Chain A
Amino acid sequence: MIGWSIALAGGVLIGLAATLLLWLNGRVAGVSGILNGVIFPRRADIAWRAAFLLGLIVAGGFYMALVPGAALPRTDYSRAGLLVAGVLVGFGTRMGNGCTSGHGVCGLGRLSLRSLVAVLTFMATAIVTTFVLRHLWSAT
């Protein structure tokens, strides 16, 4: 179980990571946007994007593999649920130009009203969706 102080420290690390990328590279640490730029490259700026994602995947993986008590992903969610959710997340983050990191961590940090609207919107639909699936649908 991860206590609130470790969660807060992890959040600060995420904020520092975003700071580093903006300070050194002048880029916003929005994961969906960075990923999109790797799959559909526009200019010659694939390298930094690929490097960021590689760092995220490898360091995240190492932490989970090596640190005792780390939060491991679930393993038993339905395949159909994962596929539907994945498509919606991919489509929605592109249409809305950002996800939890781009609009949440970076956009809110810039005090962007646009990002605040995005964050409140996806928080609201996520809460409603969870409510419907867990409390109304939950015949399962």
Chain B
Amino acid sequence: MQPVDDILVQRAQQGDWEAFAALVERYQAKLYNYALRMVANREDAADITQEAFLRAYQALPRLRDNTVFITWLFRIATNILHDSYRRQTHYNLLMEEKITGEADVSASAEEQVVQKQQHQTLLQALAGLPAMYREPLVMRYISELTYEQIGNVLGLPIRTVETRIYRGKQKLRQACITWESG
């Protein structure tokens, strides 16, 4: 965790609006992408990001350890996601949606098409995973959290996080191969 976070959180706790805005600017993309890969709907992902920041702001005075802000924020978002899961039985997967990520500009047009197809396959396989595997995988590879941070977010020991990511990747491999051969 960078010390700048520590300072920003401290300032935000003292009521510095600019500091809170800077924290939003800093983490909105990570949180939005996490939510997006969990709910597979852009509008819901934006709503969850918004709700997570709102709850974080309201609970900011209670955050005693400023260095854990990002894991705390992700835990809030995860709890919102779990609440949403309880409220609605399933989410629509991103099957029919167009993947809008940026392609590698240095690659040729054909390579870009291939790359997009691979991304599509992988994202669909990811969306089909159970939440217990998808959560740590998305946090690791999309939001780029460390294993320790993921453990703190999910309240799990690091060994369990490693196991879930390993098993999740195994399932992804199988799913990708099945998609390809099918």
- Asked if chains A and B come from one complex, the reply is no
Residues of A within 8 A of B (CB): none
> Which B residues lie at the A interface, using CB under 8 A?
none
